[in-house]
Amino acid sequence: MGKNLAGKTAFIVAVLVVFVYGIFGIPKGGLKEAITNRIHLGLDLKGGTHLVLEVHVDEAIASTVDRDAVRLTSDLQAAGIPGATAARTDPAKPRTIVVSAVPAGKLTDARGVFNGVNYGAYDVATAPDGSTTLTMKESGARDLATRTVDTSIETIRERIDKLGVAEPVIQKFGLGENQILVELPGISEIGRVEEIIQSTAKLEIHAVAGGPYGSDQDALQANGGVIPPDSVLLRGSASAGSPEQVWLLKRVSEVEGTDFRDAQPSTDQNGRPNITFNLTTEAGDRFYKYTSEHSSTSATPGSMAIVLDNKVREVAGIQSAIRDRGEITGGFTKQQAADLSLMLRTGALPASITFLETRTVGPSLGAASIRQGVFAAVAGMTAVMIFMLIYYRGSGINADLALMLNLVILLGFMGFTGSTLTLPGIAGVILTIGMGVDSNVLIFERIREELRAGKSAAMAVQQGFARAWVTIIDTHVTTIVSALILFLFGTGPVRGFAVTLAFGLLANLFTAVFVSRVIFDAHLAKKERGAALSI
């Protein structure tokens, strides 16, 4: 018995040492600094910025449909229907492609293309006049919208991580469709972060179909009053410092943001900041084919426009074929070149976003929350410990020791996992204290019942723990399941509450059942047989 008790005591001491290390680590400064280095403070305690963003998924759907329309035109031509065209003609219907100019004798060939593997995501309908529409299925549009939001989250997270923001929260916001929650504790350059998050950094290279024009009206007059369905008007400058003009560009880009493999800030031959980029192998091959066909020495020379965030930054003739490396100039400052390079490296957002909510929490408010939260926790724990000492006398010391070890284990766990402590997390700690006391009360009352039945102190302790065990397991498992549901479906602060509550309950099972039992056994081992138990 003595040897077994010594082993259990050594195990408890080892657990205590491990979790104390989890709280403080190897202190390099004061204790407060050591704790904050291990346990990070959330937005509501440290201060920072709270943002709710909405992703415009219709833009991503329209872009996908445009690319499918270009591919469909090529496929129809390859099937021997050279006059057929496919385009998204109605801005109010971003999911619909209209196919026209298919001869009656070629309808069967055209249907073979429509029913091919490339267009399985579309419903096909043919009108009496022979025109055909392909409409993206609802399930396909829904999946694309989900992927767009997920990609936006990952892109924003990578951008924020590269800016060095500690412990950001970036996740879907459960209160609305296509919304993202962003929380940045301790951020100081709010304006710059908002600019980097919001910018789609959608760099595209388009074929120039016409221009430059002095205004949109001039462009319309030059094109017979109608803009071709496969083209778009965009404003911008042909080079840095030149006046803004209007350009007619092909709607579908030759190269776009997802085709960029790398981008770095650099300087041009005149020492001005610019950006060098590398394309992926597939995009490089595609770009080489386009520039080869439209270089100054080819039969159909042309020019291309570099478009950033729907604004023309540069227009240049194609002197020779370009494969996978190029540079972007445009009168950038060093900071703008660095930020744009970062956004291109981390990938373009698949769609633009809108800020629905921006809220700032000052560090003074966070400091007040910490003081009040810690005061509430200390006051509550002190009151509970005093109550246990008064009501259960000597056994109350047992409960208080287990309660303090419970708190050490919980904080040590947060230190080991680098968890973020929020104000709801502090509430979870306080609730854990209450649950810990509840377990001790169940056990102690069972022991009292056994003593009233005339059993010895050792037998009463044994029976008390054995009979309270099932009830304790039941209450803890049901609460842990509730905490798990909060973690899976809740947002940042709610998940912080769920984490502290769940692990606090697991720690409580160890302290209330195992540690308290060892303390009772150690106490009884020192008492004479038949001596009364203070409870």
pLDDT band at 31 (very low <50, low <70, confident <90, very high): low
Domain shared by 266 and 307, yes or no: yes
Q: Note down the domain range covering 333.
A: 199-357
Domain shared by 216 and 347, yes or no: yes
Q: What is the pLDDT of residue 513?
A: 85
Average pLDDT over residues 172-196: 76
pLDDT 10s digits, 107-129: 888 888 888 878 888 999 987 77
Average pLDDT over residues 498-517: 88
- Partnered with residue 183 across adjacent β-strands are 50, 169
DSSP code of residue 244: P
Nearest to 75 by CA among 128, 117, 103, 137: 117
DSSP code of residue 466: H
Is the predicted pLDDT of residue 1 greater than 50, yes or no?
Answer: no
Domain shared by 258 and 353, yes or no: yes
Token pair 């908002």 is at which residue? 194
Q: Which two tokens stand for residue 160?
A: 């924020």
Q: Which residues contact 157 (CB under 8 A, 6 or more apart)?
A: 168, 170
- Tell me how far apart the terminal alpha carbons of the chain are, to the nearest angstrom: 23
Q: Label residue 53 left, alpha or beta by phi (over 0 means left) and psi (-120 to 50 means alpha).
A: beta
Q: How would you list the strands of the sheet with 273-279, edge to edge?
A: 260-267, 273-279, 325-328
CA 265/CA 273 separation, integer angstroms: 7
pLDDT 10s digits, 386-397: 988 898 888 889
Is the predicted pLDDT of residue 420 greater than 80, yes or no?
Answer: no
Domain shared by 459 and 434, yes or no: yes
Last residue of a domain, one of 91, 117, 140: 140
Are 394 and 531 in contact, with CB atoms under 8 Å apart?
no
More confident residue, 534 or 1: 534
Of 110-114, 234-238, 247-251, 344-348, least confident by mean pLDDT is: 344-348
CA dihedral 271→275→276→278, nearest 10 degrees, is 180
Query: Omega before 229 cis (within 30°)?
Result: no
pLDDT 10s digits, 437-492: 888 888 999 999 988 888 888 888 899 898 888 888 888 889 899 989 988 877 66
Average pLDDT over residues 384-408: 88
More confident residue, 55 or 158: 55
CA 348/CA 325 separation, integer angstroms: 18
**Cα 318 off chain centre by:** 40
Average pLDDT over residues 42-55: 80
Are 80 and 46 in contact, with CB atoms under 8 Å apart?
no
Nearest to 121 by CA among 175, 83, 36, 64: 64
Domain shared by 500 and 522, yes or no: yes
Domain shared by 352 and 373, yes or no: no
Q: What is the pLDDT of residue 393?
A: 86
Domain shared by 341 and 216, yes or no: yes
Domain shared by 459 and 474, yes or no: yes
pLDDT 10s digits, 292-308: 888 878 878 888 888 87
Total domains in the chain come to 3
Are 42 and 421 in contact, with CB atoms under 8 Å apart?
yes
Residue 532 located in a structural domain: no
What's 290's domain CATH number?
Answer: 3.30.1360.200
Domain shared by 209 and 330, yes or no: yes
Average pLDDT over residues 73-92: 86
- Partnered with residue 262 across adjacent β-strands are 278
- In percent, the amount of the chain with pLDDT more than 90 equals 7
Angle between helices 31-38 and 394-417 (to 10 degrees): 60
Q: What is the pLDDT of residue 92?
A: 82
| Average pLDDT of every residue of the chain | 82
Are 404 and 436 in contact, with CB atoms under 8 Å apart?
no
The string over 282-306, giving b where at least 16 C-beta atoms fall within 10 Å of a residue's C-beta and e elsewhere, is ebbebbeebbeebbeeeeeebbbbb
